């Protein structure tokens, strides 16, 4: 359970949360992410309170090792100069090179970068692979831009970013607004500036130049491997369950694909404009064509499937969540599910939530789901398949070798089963029943805090 700060027993923890709120007053997403993690760690903190206090462990954990912010000037197709702001948050490198995606979206700011970087520390620890936590991006909006404009922006962004990354230092990948096209332009510019083919500096690369099979599918597939395992542990079969998915980007499309392969019935998907409902089951190849090829809107689905319905986004509850389903997969963005949406979903009889996105549920919504015995697969565990496969891409780059699709997919599946077991075991050990949110936080924290402890006060 996320414990309300007022109910915390640890004075050290209460003090830290108070300090974080004061110090990061204008960073609501970051405060939300930190509060969610720290409050669920209380049983562990109480066991080691004096030791953690003496080494200021929590104070160091919540302070990024480094934040880089920079100007990104570029020239648009009309010849006008545009200026965006770029970021890289190198949050915690205690278990490996910083690793985490780049997000290009107009909403990007320091609070969002820090919350994503903070989450990434724990997610990466859960994969069991040697990767630290980082995140980056820009307030650049690729939507509506020509390929030439996207390329010019990516090149200018990399002119600065290249000073701070490297295959043993910091390895970015994609996130919202950064897919194969953007990674290609970023990698090209890095290679030109450095005059070296350092494949392991970026992941999510094209297959022709060092990318890994399954990386594109990994976050969505991994989400469903985790979901299947969580349901199995609770004696529920995923077959024939109805599923709705918020979003229709990389994570959403491959979660849909795997859910369908597992025999579930996906009936709705969305984008930031609205959602489509197809009671006969979403035709994922049509969604792929709209989003991956034409860069169009989800509404275009109706051209191919006129019997489907479209609902415009025009209230505080995104319309996709009005559709009744057993399994809900928020795969769009943070705080998509507020307390009002959570109440609606529970009233409509959902049984499980799988967070494909990062922090898609508000803390109140998480609390409500857990309080109503809804199974909740937390993002930092359930969507870790993407970064885990990125680490496998780095591994193949180091070996100058490629694994087959089935080899990578099997490693991904085993990783997700292992992550689920870590969440389950840690939650049971600390008396949280079926609370995989707390389980994920505790299992990851144990690993990161041990590494920090052994490396001294840095
Ligand atoms: P994409 O850019 O491929 O797709 C994002 C999807 O979410 C689009 O359908 C988009 O709609 C929708 N969306 C974005 N912002 C908003 C918003 N403010 N309101 C409503 N809808 C929105 O991104 P990804 O699929 O890669 O990422 C989705 C989520 O998964 C993010 O939270 C990301 O951090 C997380 N994630 C991604 C990983 C990856 O490997 N890609 C790994 C782990 C987590 P529209 O096109 O209309 O903007």
262 and 184 share one domain: no
Among 377, 409, 443, identify where a domain stops.
Answer: 377
pLDDT in tens, 263-273: 999 999 999 99
Round to whole Å and give the CA distance between 441 and 172: 23
Say yes or no: 234 and 93 in one domain.
Answer: no
Task: Say if residue 279's pLDDT is above 80.
Answer: yes
C-alpha 368/C-alpha 454 separation (Å) is 38
Residue having the nearest C-alpha atom to atom 41 of ligand 1: 175
Residue 430 lies in a domain: no
Whole-number Å distance between alpha carbons of 275 and 329 = 14
Asked whether residue 372 is assigned to any structural domain, the reply reads yes
Three-state secondary-structure class, residue 2? coil
pLDDT category of residue 2 using cuts at 50, 70 and 90: low
pLDDT in tens, 307-359: 999 999 999 999 999 999 999 999 999 999 999 999 999 999 999 999 999 99
The terminus-to-terminus CA distance of the chain in angstroms comes to: 31
Averaged pLDDT of the chain: 97
pLDDT tens, residue by residue, 388-445:
999 999 999 999 999 999 999 999 999 999 999 999 999 999 999 899 999 999 999 9
Residue 194 has pLDDT above 80, yes or no: yes
Task: Output the pLDDT for position 244.
Answer: 98
Does residue 187 share a domain with residue 72? yes
Residue with the two structure tokens 């579930």 = 264
Percentage of the chain surpassing pLDDT 70?
99
Residue 390 lies in a domain: no
**Are residues 15 and 150 both part of a single domain?**
no
Atom number in ligand 1 closest to CA 174:
41
CATH number at residue 311: 3.40.50.720
Which domain-ending residue is among 345, 377, 409? 377
CA 328 to centroid of ligand 1, rounded, Å: 16
Q: What's the CA angle centered on 451, arms 446 and 457, to 5 degrees?
A: 115
Give, using CA atoms, the residue closest to atom 3 of ligand 1.
Answer: 249
Is residue 199 over pLDDT 60?
yes
In a shared domain, residues 86 and 153? yes
Number of domains the chain is built from: 3
pLDDT at 1 over 70: no
Separation of 272 CA from ligand 1 center, angstroms? Answer: 9
Question: Distance between CA 448 and CA 19 in Å, rounded?
Answer: 21
Task: Verify that 104 and 18 share a domain, yes or no.
Answer: no
Please, are residues 440 and 126 in contact by the beta-carbon 8 Å criterion?
Answer: yes
Confirm whether pTM is higher than 0.85: yes
CA atoms within 13 A on the CB side of 377: 35
Indicate if 42 and 72 belong to the same structural domain.
no
Q: Is residue 354 in contact with ligand 1, taking CB distance under 6 Å?
A: no
Whether residues 369 and 282 share a domain: the answer is yes
Q: How confident is the model at residue 6 (pLDDT cuts 50, 70, 90)?
A: low
Q: What is the pLDDT of residues 154-187, one digit of tens each?
A: 999 999 999 999 999 999 999 999 999 999 999 9
pLDDT tens-digit readout, 123-151 = 999 999 999 999 999 999 999 999 999 99
187 with 232, same domain: the answer is no
Q: What percent of the chain clears pLDDT 90, i.e. is strictly above it?
A: 98
- Tell me whether residue 389 is in a domain: no
- Residue 388's pLDDT is 98
Give the catalytic positions in this structure: 135
| pLDDT score for 7 | 82
Is residue 86 domain-shared with residue 188, that is, in the same domain?
yes
Q: Which of 377, 403, 435 is the last residue of a domain?
A: 377
Q: According to the model, what pLDDT value does residue 433 have?
A: 87
249 Cβ inside 6 Å of ligand 1 = yes
371 and 228 co-located in one domain: yes
Mean pLDDT for 46-66 is 97
Position 72 pLDDT exceeds 80:
yes
Question: Does a structural domain hold residue 346?
Answer: yes
CATH code, 71:
3.40.50.10860
Q: Is the CB of 142 under 6 A from ligand 1?
A: no
pLDDT band for position 190 (cuts 50, 70, 90): very high
Separation CA 437–CA 370 (nearest Å):
9
Residue-number span of the structural domain to which 128 is assigned? 66-197
Q: Quick one: 178 and 228 in the same domain?
A: no
- The answer to whether 98 and 171 have CB atoms below 8 angstroms apart is yes
């Amino acid at each position: 359970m996320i414990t309300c700060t007022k109910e915390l027993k640890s004075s050290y923890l209460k003090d830290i949360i108070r300090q974080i709120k004061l110090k990061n007053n204008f960073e609501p997403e970051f405060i939300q992410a930190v509060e969610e993690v720290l409050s669920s760690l209380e049983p562990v903190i109480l066991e080691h309170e004096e030791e953690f206090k003496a080494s200021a462990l929590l104070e160091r954990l919540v302070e990024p090792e480094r934040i880089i912010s920079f100007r990104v000037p570029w020239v648009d197709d009309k010849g006008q100069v545009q200026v965006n702001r770029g970021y890289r948050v190198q949050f915690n490198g205690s278990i490996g090179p910083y690793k985490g995606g780049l997000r290009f979206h107009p909403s990007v700011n320091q609070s969002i970068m820090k919350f994503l970087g903070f989450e990434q520390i724990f997610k990466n620890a859960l994969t069991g692979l040697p990767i630290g936590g980082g995140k980056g991006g820009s307030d650049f909006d690729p939507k509506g831009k020509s390929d030439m404009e996207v390329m010019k922006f990516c090149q200018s962004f990399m002119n600065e970013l290249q000073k701070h990354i490297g295959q043993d230092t910091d390895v970015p990948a994609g996130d919202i607004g950064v897919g194969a096209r953007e990674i290609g332009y970023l990698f090209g510019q890095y290679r030109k500036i450095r005059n070296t083919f350092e494949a392991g500096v970026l992941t999510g690369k094209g297959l022709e130049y060092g990318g890994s099979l399954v990386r594109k599918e990994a976050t969505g597939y991994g989400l469903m491997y985790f979901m299947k395992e969580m349901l199995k542990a609770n004696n529920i079969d995923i077959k024939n369950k109805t599923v709705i998915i918020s979003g229709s980007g990389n994570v959403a499309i491959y979660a849909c694909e795997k859910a369908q392969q597992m025999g579930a019935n996906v009936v709705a998907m969305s984008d930031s404009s609205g959602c489509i409902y197809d009671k006969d089951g979403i035709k994922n190849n049509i969604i792929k064509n709209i989003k991956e090829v034409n860069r169009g809107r989800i509404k275009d689905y109706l051209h191919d499937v006129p019997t489907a319905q479209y609902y415009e986004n025009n209230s505080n509850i995104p319309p996709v969540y009005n559709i009744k389903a057993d399994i809900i997969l928020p795969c769009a963005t943070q705080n998509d599910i507020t307390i009002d949406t959570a109440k609606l979903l529970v009233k409509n009889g959902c049984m499980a939530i799988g967070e494909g996105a990062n922090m898609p549920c508000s803390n109140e919504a998480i609390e409500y789901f857990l309080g109503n015995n809804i199974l909740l697969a937390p993002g930092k565990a359930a969507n870790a398949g993407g970064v885990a496969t990125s680490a496998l891409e780095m591994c193949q780059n180091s070996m100058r070798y490629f694994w087959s699709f089935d080899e990578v997919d099997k490693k991904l599946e085993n990783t997700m089963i292992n992550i689920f077991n870590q969440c389950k075991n840690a939650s049971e050990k600390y008396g949280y029943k079926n609370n995989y949110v707390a389980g994920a936080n505790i299992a990851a924290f144990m690993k990161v805090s041990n590494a920090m402890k052994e490396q001294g006060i840095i």
